[in-house]
Chain A
Amino acid sequence: MSLKHHTSIMDDPAADLHDTILSHHMGNTVQSRVLIVDDDDLVRARLAALLRMSNFEVEVAGSGEEALRILGTAPCQIVLTDWQMPDMDGLALCRYLRTACHENYIYVVMLTVRDAKQDVLTGLAAGADDYVLKGTPVEEILARLEIGRRITHVEQSLRTSNRENRRLAITDPLTGAHNLRYLMKNLPRELSRSRRYGHPLAILSCDIDGFKQVNDRFGHQAGDLVLQAFVTRSTGCLRKTSDWLARIGGDEFVIVLPETTLPGATSVAKKLRRQIAAQPVATNTGLVTFMASVGVTALEPADVPSGPAAVEELMHTADRNLYASKRGEINGLD
């Protein structure tokens, strides 16, 4: 009987491939956290050591149930799970992960000794993205996890991009306020809520007095600064948790004040005008003093319009009140 190493790394092409993959991992700045789920302590430790050396963050669990507890506190992009385990096995874990709602997609690799064709099909049908046999060369396991890293990274990028697109779609790029799209989507909700709970609702319809003259005299950049100042100063007068503001046109804004009566809305409008007039806006072309007209529309629950034309009807009323305000006919804001 003799003791000798079966092979040398120097003549092992697989080792070179492994080094290539490993060096790729080392140079990869994309962090992925892998949750290793196996009821065998030594297997977990061995896999964890290999993965850590390949630039993966690693969590470990001894059963499916423990895995779920960990996933609840430490989000993982990849789950590398055994099949047969006490309590919740790998199949049940896969099925649960596919039906549960997670913020990000979890790439699941089943790592098991069960090598029957039917086992592979069962594992994949349970929701595993990949099925790898224990004993598969380490470099191949790492290569398969690298696929998981790429896929989850792309998925995260797309999710972030979608979230940003959704935000941009409802945001006015100049002022950062909500836009008309946001108003048309959310004002009906406010109307419904007001009717449902029997709460009053108020709308402030605003525009900047002589905004065209500001642009003509000081330039469009100065005009932009005035719009931004209006949003900043108005927002300072609003409740952060319920009130909101949308820019619906050039210098036109709508402020929505849920659960607010006419006296309350009038008070907000006065405060807003005081804030706006408090100090001029510094621009490259000089100090710009400006004022806004504010039309106050307050609705008691019984008066809240309903139906498909409700928003249009409300906005029409708000416009009328704005122009009445400009003419000094109502509200007594001055």
Chain B
Amino acid sequence: MGSIEHRPRTDRSASGHGAASEKLQELFAVRLQSERVHFVTLSAALARAEECPAGIFDDLTFRAHRLRGAAATFEFANLAEAAGTLEKASLAAASSRAAHTDPDVWEALVALVQMLGTIEENTRSTPGVQPAVRAD
């Protein structure tokens, strides 16, 4: 897995360490935990699915797209990229009516869930610090 790179700003910048900014970062960290739960749930549903699970692919596409946008906005570039990979893979799987075992979707989904887990772990191990800066 590649690095999870976040480029935090200092108090010299517009998005500095103001209370509001910190609060938003905390909310985003909570959001990422929630996203991880959702993706794990969707992966379980996908594993159980039969034939073409178009509805699950659609859910994955929608959720990955939202996460991609939010992660990019909060400057989690690698997380945004991972979410984008899943978005594209699940979109392609839905349109090609791929099976629930579609390897591209699974590869992207596993990578994204692992990355979210790493971020969550980093956040938990360093309370008060902005969500994961780097996970090697």
- A residues in contact (CB < 8 Å) with B: 1-9, 15, 18-19, 22, 38-40, 42-43, 45-47, 49-50, 53-54, 82, 84, 112-113, 133-135, 138, 142
Contact = CB atoms under 8 A, between A and B. Distances in A.
A84 B65 contact: yes
Given A1-B136, A113-B80, A49 B68 contact: no
A6 to B, nearest CB: 5
Interface centre among A18, A47, A135, A142 (most CB of B within 10 A): A135
A109 to B, nearest CB: 14
B58 interface: no
B20 to A, nearest CB: 5
CB-CB nearest 5 A-B residue pairs:
A135-B72, A134-B72, A9-B10, A53-B14, A43-B73
B121 to A, nearest CB: 8
Contact of A6 (B5, B72, B73, B129): B5
Given A9-B9, A133-B72, A49 B66 contact: no
A2 B134 contact: yes
Interface string B43-75: 000000000000000000000011011111111
B37 interface: no
A40 B136 contact: no
B72 A18 contact: no
Contacts of B132: 3
Nearest to A115: B84
Interface string B11-34: 011110010110010011001000
6 contacts: A6-B6, A40-B70, A46-B15, A53-B14, A134-B80, A135-B75
A113 B69 contact: yes
Given A4-B134, A113-B68, A46 B73 contact: yes
Given A6-B5, A42-B28, A138-B15, A112 B133 contact: no
B101 interface: no
A113 B65 contact: yes
A42 B136 CA distance: 27
A134 B134 contact: no
A254 B95 CA distance: 75
Interface string B110-128: 0000000010011001100
